[in-house]
């Protein structure tokens, strides 16, 4: 089976790239391609909730945290792979929309909790259910064992590469 990334390989070979580097480039391009397809499909569907993808990601992380659906901003940044500045902008928009609120942290006067409001919980549950359907639709036709093998292989790669910090 061939995909559009395969069309790039002859050019890389003609430029004398090693087989190992070509395999790495293929992996990177395919990950980016799949991520782009998935994110675009999700963006289209969550538009009905008036959410950006980043806002959806924050609401989903708070939902995953379980009741009372709250995390510290630093925990959110780590969970979402965002900078503190990027997280702060998203949190501001969600606060203005009434979907999250800041609450004092009695155990640490230097930090505050970010938590879902009742409206935020409703939107988060609906948007996460929608995203789940989108994932299934995008992956329709891909055998479950292929998805499982790919997920396991990427976990192995992430376990090694994820230890490194980019500059």
Show the tokens assigned to 20: 């190992």
Show the tokens assigned to 123: 């939107």
User: Running along the chain, 167 residues long, what does each successive block of 10 average in pLDDT?
Assistant: 93 96 96 95 95 94 94 86 80 94 79 92 97 96 96 93 67
Residue 103's φ and ψ, nearest 5 degrees, are: -130, 145
State residue 165's pLDDT score.
61
pTM of the predicted structure, to 2 decimals: 0.83
State residue 103's pLDDT score.
85
Three-state secondary structure call for residue 38: helix
Label residue 72 exposed, middle or buried (CB < 10 Å: 0-12, 13-18, 19+).
Answer: middle
* Measured distance CA(4)–CA(30) in Å, rounded: 9
* Alpha helix ranges (H) inside the chain: 9-14, 19-46, 53-64, 73-80, 84-96, 118-138, 144-161
Nearest to 59 by CA among 29, 35, 90: 90
Domain ranges of the chain: 51-161
Query: According to the CATH classification, is domain 51-161 in 3.40.640.10?
Result: no
Three-state secondary structure call for residue 52: coil
Measured over the CA atoms of residue 141, residue 80, residue 48 and residue 121, the dihedral's sign is positive
Cis peptide before 44 (omega within 30 of 0): no
State residue 167's pLDDT score.
47
């Amino acid at each position: 089976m061939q995909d559009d990334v395969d069309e790039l390989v002859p050019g890389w070979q003609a430029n004398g790239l090693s087989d190992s580097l070509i395999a790495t480039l293929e992996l990177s391009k395919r990950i980016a391609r799949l991520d782009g397809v998935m994110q675009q499909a999700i963006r289209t569907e969550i538009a009905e909730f008036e959410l950006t993808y980043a806002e959806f990601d924050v609401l989903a992380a708070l939902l995953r945290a379980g009741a009372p659906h709250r995390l510290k901003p630093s925990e959110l940044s780590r969970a979402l792979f965002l900078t503190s500045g990027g997280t702060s902008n998203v949190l501001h928009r969600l606060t203005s929309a009434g979907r999250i609120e800041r609450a004092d942290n009695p155990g640490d006067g230097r930090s505050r909790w970010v938590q879902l409001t009742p409206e935020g919980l409703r939107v988060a549950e609906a948007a996460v259910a929608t995203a789940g359907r989108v994932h299934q639709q995008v992956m329709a036709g891909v055998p479950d064992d292929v998805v499982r093998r790919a997920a396991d292989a990427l976990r192995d790669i992430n376990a090694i590469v994820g230890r490194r910090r980019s500059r």
